[in-house]
């Protein structure tokens, strides 16, 4: 497995811990930086990993910023990337088993080292289950293709949901008009 890792200043310390753990496990990892706590812009580092995973030159990646949110937002803009922000071991396992996640996003300021190692271990060792999950991944691939061609992805099932909610919108109660319960 070819594993890429990158971080911003908020994820630097956790990255050092995870790279050390990966090397102890004899898992090859290519560290794309950043290499200090000096302030940098996370989109540059997310792009470095996401572009490699998207192009297939790296099987999986790890991105770490202060919360993991920004890294996941930018990484998921790349075709064929399924970046998942995980804050628990269960999430790390499930995102591999159900979503075939290929980039793990972590928060260096919100996730402790031991928890992050447990999440990473679960993510690395879990296998994609396929089966019923292939349907959802197929829909994600359809959305990827449409949106990267400048189209709005809105399949018939989603249109039906919108039509149903539009029809029900007229039935919604106006929350600005409060009525008092009857006095006892």
Catalytic residue among 98, 121, 133, 148: 98
Residue 92: CB partners within 8 Å, gap ≥ 6? 86, 104, 118, 119, 120, 121, 122, 123, 126
Active-site annotation holds for 65: yes
Q: Give counts: helices (H), strands (E), the chain.
A: 7, 5
Give the whole-angstrom CA distance, residue 70 versus residue 111. 15
Active-site annotation holds for 34: no
Give the whole-angstrom CA distance, residue 35 versus residue 20. 14
Catalytic residue among 9, 34, 65, 86: 65
Question: Known catalytic residues?
Answer: 65, 98
């Amino acid at each position: 497995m070819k594993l890429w890792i990158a971080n911003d200043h908020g994820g630097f310390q956790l990255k050092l811990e995870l790279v050390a753990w990966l090397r102890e496990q004899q898992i090859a990892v290519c560290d794309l930086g950043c290499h200090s706590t000096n302030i940098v812009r996370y989109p540059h580092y997310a792009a470095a990993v996401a572009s490699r995973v998207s192009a297939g030159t790296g099987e999986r990646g790890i991105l770490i910023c202060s919360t993991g949110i920004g890294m996941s937002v930018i990484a998921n803009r790349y075709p064929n990337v399924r970046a998942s922000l995980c804050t628990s071991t269960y999430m790390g396992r499930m995102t591999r088993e159900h979503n075939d996640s290929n980039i793990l996003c972590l928060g260096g300021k919100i996730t402790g080292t031991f928890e992050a190692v447990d999440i990473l271990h679960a993510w690395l060792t879990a296998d994609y289950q396929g089966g019923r999950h292939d349907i959802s991944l197929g829909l994600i691939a359809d959305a990827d293709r449409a949106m990267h061609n400048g189209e709005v992805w809105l399949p018939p099932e989603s249109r039906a949901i919108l039509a149903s909610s539009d029809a029900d919108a007229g039935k919604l109660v106006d929350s600005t008009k409060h009525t008092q319960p009857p006095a006892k």
